[in-house]
Amino acid sequence: MVEKRAFIKELSIIIVNYNGGELLLNCINSLTKYLPFGFEVIVFDNNSSDNSADKLEQQFADESFLTLIRSDVNYGFARANNLAAEKAEGSYLHFLNPDVLINSQMAEDYGMIINGNKKGIFVTGLIDNEGRVQKMQHLIPTLGNYFKALFCSGKAALWNIGASVIMDTLTFKDLGGWAEDYFMYAEDLDLFYLAHKKKIPITYIDSTITHIGKGSSETVWSGLERATLIERSTRKFYTKYKMGWQYYIIRPIQLIYILINEPKNFGITVKAILNSFS
């Protein structure tokens, strides 16, 4: 275990915590269990009201690999990640949700990326805690991209859930970090949209890690509140890139799809859209 803690200044794992509870501890325990080489973990605590940061500090008080940054305000996901990245010493950054558990495959993929001096964005697969594959790839929701998906599917651009994203520091700087236009949600859409525009390569690596999902958000917001926040953030994406008019074309089409294929979600989606304008 002592050798495992020796930091080789190549890998920085960044975790933004807000009321993560035991999920945060379980996440970091999985890192120390499965990674046989040096790394650092930077946890940025967004003014949690539970005792997750205290428990983390107590459990790993004597460990040099861990840096805990306590904030007296909640900066949201993007800003917190960017502030933590400023403290990172690694040449590769792994942005990891606190409700994630890695496995032994992750060590091999880290080695492949670092030893190969590979550049770009790297994305892991995700499964839930019952082993079911989670959908992580989504079409970037622009009209042009939807037409590509219909007629040239291999050329359509995708965005990925930001629960587990790795990139080298040069790529991170080229992207300008995570877009701080958003408090929470749609920053991953923005990141991959910008990467597509800049032609930054995106690689899907073999590791499939466990993502509990909604680990802290469901303790803070109701389902409707969370859906409303997602709606506002998504509309902000369109506005930011001067595509606001596309929202009013694409969203009705998506509503029809939801009504046909996911009727249980239709009501809350409509309420979220209406609430997002208030």
- Residues 11-48: tens digit of each pLDDT: 999 999 999 999 999 999 999 999 988 899 999 999 99
pLDDT at 32: 93
Lowest mean pLDDT among 63-72, 208-217, 259-268: 208-217
Question: Which residues, 6+ apart, have CB-to-CB distance to 54 below 8 Å?
Answer: none
pLDDT at 7: 42
Average of per-residue pLDDT across 91-116: 95
Average of per-residue pLDDT across 186-206: 97
pLDDT at 4: 39
Tell me the pLDDT of the chain averaged across its residues. Answer: 91
pLDDT at 20: 93
State in words which class domain 3-220 has.
alpha beta
Residue 96: both structure tokens together? 């990891």
pLDDT at 8: 52
**Four-point Cα dihedral 243, 221, 208, 13, nearest 10:** 90
pLDDT at 154: 79
For the cut 50, the answer to whether the pLDDT of residue 2 exceeds it is: no
The domain locations on the chain are 3-220, 223-278
pLDDT at 215: 54
Higher-scoring residue by pLDDT: 212, 93: 93
To the nearest whole percent, how much of the chain has pLDDT over 90? Answer: 84
To the nearest whole percent, how much of the chain has pLDDT over 70? Answer: 94
pLDDT at 5: 40
Q: Please, what is the angle between helix 223-240 and helix 244-261, to 10°? A: 140
Question: Which residues, 6+ apart, have CB-to-CB distance to 70 below 8 Å?
Answer: 45, 47, 53
pLDDT at 6: 42
φ, ψ of residue 41 to 5 degrees: the values are -120, 125
pLDDT at 219: 56
pLDDT in tens, 101-113: 999 999 999 999 9
Question: For strand 40-45 and strand 164-168, is the pairing parallel, antiparallel, or unpaired?
Answer: unpaired
pTM for the whole thing? 0.92
Residue 222: both structure tokens together? 């109701």
